[in-house]
Structure 1
């Protein structure tokens, strides 16, 4: 299964309500067969622009990142589900690349190693 990162902006809420929304989101991933690797709180801050969602104007939001493995065919349903959640302002899923080892890298480090071995 490919690895993905779900970045969500939640509306500004108290800690118990935020925890409930995150629990719902992670449970939705589990129900669809995803394996969650991590959850990171990136903090609450002012939004770069006002977001109007579900007839409310939002100026602040909580930023969270969920790292997970899942089948690609669940992503459209997951995003549709999150778009309908009244507490989620912006859901975004990004596919994470497979990490490249330094031996496979063709950057400056390899050039330095070649020049020092001469």
Structure 2
């Protein structure tokens, strides 16, 4: 089954209504033979411009991203059902190219360590120190130009 990403923009709802709307969307995916892999909330924010959906004007919305696998044959019916959902202002289904299901390794024990002991944080600190060494520090009297930029 191909992998897809569903970007959702929901209208402002109370928490129980939001949960029921997201459950309804996830059940719609599973009813069409899809498997939900990941679910991410991007938060609530003002929209870049006012949007009209289902005879209402929206100026704020809640953003979500769902990653799922679904057969290509049932994608059109999924889109049709999502168009009819009155809580969705906009949505976009896009195919994730080159995504293979690789084995997932759990790094919970490493994530629970303090940041100073994590390998990835130590690597970032080393890279930052290398960049400071290459730059040679800060010299206040040399702006980096071979001319005075504020002269007319």
Query: Higher relative contact order at CA 8 Å, sep ≥6: structure 1 or structure 2?
Result: 1
Point out where structure 1 has 5 or more consecutive residues left out of the alignment: 101-118
Moved >2 Å (runs of 4+): none
8 Å Cα contact 2:45-2:60 kept in structure 1 = yes
Map of 2:16 onto structure 1:
16
Q: Answer with 1 or 2: which has the greater Rg.
A: 2
Aligned ranges for residues 4-83 of structure 1 at < 5 Å? Answer: 4-83=4-83
**Count of matched residue pairs:** 100
Deviation at 1:80, TM superposition (A): 1.1
TM-score, normalised with respect to structure 2: 0.63
TM-score, normalised with respect to structure 1: 0.81
In 1, Cα distance between equivalents of 2:96 and 2:37: 13
Point out where structure 2 has 5 or more consecutive residues left out of the alignment: 101-152
CA RMSD in angstroms, aligned pairs only: 1.2
Distance 1:55 1:65, change over 3 A: same
Aligned-partner SS, 1:65: strand
Aligned-partner SS, 2:83: helix
